[in-house]
Amino acid sequence: MNKKYQVFISSTYTDLVEERKTILNLLLMADCIPAGMEAFVATDDEQFNVIKKVIDLCDYYILIIGGRYGSINEATGISYTEMEYEYALSKNIPVLVFALDDTVELNESQKESDVIKQGKLAEFKLRAMRNRLASVWKDTGDLNGKAAIAIMRAKQEISRPGWTRGGEYNQTELLKQIVDLQKQNELLQKQLDEYKISSNSNDKELPFYGYTIKLHYTERCLIYTASTTIDEKDVETTLDELFKFISLRLTAKHNSKDFVDAVSSFVSGYYVDRQQALIVKNQYIQLGLFSATVNKNNEEIITLTEKGREVMNELNALI
């Protein structure tokens, strides 16, 4: 099937007009569907709700960071651009980040004069650059080249639903997908049955104690330039060792970001691949160590269960 992918372009607007055009043209050449909001910039919650509906329909999300932070929402205290970014993350939409090199000289209209906004921009940029698909750019040509590579990598590495023209489908391929899904469902059901049996007999038999996992960590960096070298490494641990560490940091009600931050702090000076951390979170939920609920803002809230507290106390008990 000839599948197209819809991509949301997010940035401040007036200072990055040319850069947005560059990305838009690149997406068209890459056979993608751009979903920029040039004619509809959010200035209140009602307009932002419209933008969220557009993001919901997108397969990928591109964030371009320049020298400005943008308009701040009074209720949240952060810019609408950052709110868009946080919303895309909450919906598990793959994010591609392109941040302007800190060494690039900007004119006054391209940078923030407000000290508070400067600080908020620095914090936002620091968090966004933790993304695995993040790059630093110096000019529109540099941005174009790095965005082309990032989009190609994202399409190859991260499967997304995409869009197909009505009536275009491969019946043989669809039947194969159905068979594969049935096999996966049977395997998951078998694993669930085995888990129920083991959980009723002895907690020590759970796929938890000594169960090895590997997490990818990236070095934290405060200032990014074109010559910055970022260290990356895989860290091997076990589900129980990781839980022993993070459970003490998640004793109250927390959101998914707090969980990812706790897993990141397992390795000092580094941050973890977000998708891997969320997979671990789901494993803990399946093991009954955390419970997950959704609040009125449609955000997932995780809480240690009674069983989770018992295991936390057991693992952290003084011997």
pLDDT value of position 208: 81
pTM as predicted:
0.58
CATH topology of domain 202-315: Arc Repressor Mutant, subunit A (1.10.10)
Could you tell me which residues come within 8 angstroms of residue 210 by beta carbon, excluding any fewer than 6 positions away?
238, 240
- Is domain 5-157 classified as CATH 2.160.20.60? no
For the chain, domain boundaries: 5-157, 202-315
Residue with the bigger pLDDT between 195 and 19: it is 19
Q: What percent of the chain has pLDDT over 90?
A: 44
Confirm if 217 and 272 have CB atoms less than 8 A apart. yes
- How far does Cα 275 stand from its chain's mean position? 7
Tell me how far apart the alpha carbons of residues 89 and 93 are, in angstroms, rounded to a whole number. Answer: 6
Tell me how far apart the alpha carbons of residues 108 and 162 are, in angstroms, rounded to a whole number. Answer: 40
Q: What is the pLDDT of residues 21-40, one digit of tens each?
A: 999 999 999 889 998 666 55
